[in-house]
Amino acid sequence: MGTENLQHPPVVHFATLDKLLNLGRANSLWPLTFGLACCAIEMMATGASRFDLDRFGIGVFRPAPKQADVMIVAGTISKKMAPAIVTLYEQMPHPKWVIAMGNCAISGGPFKFEGQYGIVEGADKILPVDIYIPGCPPRPEALIEGLLLLEEKLTGSRRWPRVEPQ
């Protein structure tokens, strides 16, 4: 795992080394600094003092796509914005992951109706999405849960025990 985004997966796998690399990657997921709509406000709140993404090593929001690992698609993707987002995604070096945050990034959300012409109906129409976080907008706890799920996808083990819904 972790290299599954590669178009040409490696021929030889080193099991222990891959585990170590994935452990390193999972603990240092640097997101790309960009927001598209109101979900970005929740993303900022998640990075700020009350929720503090930096606890998990995720807090280094990098402005340059060359230095980022995770793309958090936070908001509605309009058709005019879609090419720019694809360019940003393609500029990120491998390995890279995409999180679709909020209903707009999952399916178009409230803007999806018959005859609409302005938006892309879901980030997965243009990008390979790893994690979907529902909500309109999702709360910061939900974004943290999504990032922990991405870590679980990388390392295969869960950092904290899962909380069962009551």
Partner 1 sequence: MSGYPEIFRVLAYIVGTLAFVGLNAAFLVWLERKVAGHIQRRIGPKEVGPFGIIQSLADGIKLMSKQLVVPERADGLLYRLAPLMTMTTAIMVFVTIPFGPALVARDLNLGMLVIFAFASVNVLALLLAGWGSNNKYSVISATRAVSQNVAYEVPMLITVATMVMIVGTMNLNEIVGQQGNLLQWKIFPWNGSVMLPVAFLIFFICALAETNRAPFDLGEAESELVAGFHTEYGGMGFGLFFLGEYAYVFVGCALTSIFFLGGWQCPLGWAPGVHWLLIKTYLLVFVVMWIRWTFPRTTIYGLLNLSWKVLVPFALVNLIVTAALLKVF
Binding site for partner 1 (CB under 8 A): 20-21, 23-25, 27-28, 30, 33, 48-49, 52, 54-57, 59-60, 62-64, 66-67, 69, 92-95, 159
Rounded to 5 degrees, φ, ψ at 98 are -125, 135
Cα–Cα distance measured from residue 48 to residue 104, given in angstroms and rounded to the nearest whole number: 23
104 annotated ligand-binding residue = yes
Cα–Cα distance measured from residue 152 to residue 49, given in angstroms and rounded to the nearest whole number: 24
Kindly tell me which of 95 and 134 has the beta carbon lying closer to partner 1. 95
Least distance to partner 1, CB of residue 117, Å? 32
**Closest of 9, 131, 122, 126 to residue 58, by C-alpha:** 131
136 annotated ligand-binding residue = yes
Least distance to partner 1, CB of residue 162, Å? 16
Least distance to partner 1, CB of residue 110, Å? 31
Q: Which residues contact 39 (CB under 8 A, 6 or more apart)?
A: 74, 75, 101, 102, 104, 105, 137, 138
Kindly tell me which of 20 and 84 has the beta carbon lying closer to partner 1. 20
CA angle 100, 101, 104 (to 5 degrees): 85
Binding-site annotation, residues: 38-39, 104, 136
Binding-site annotation, residues for [4Fe-4S] cluster: 38-39, 104, 136
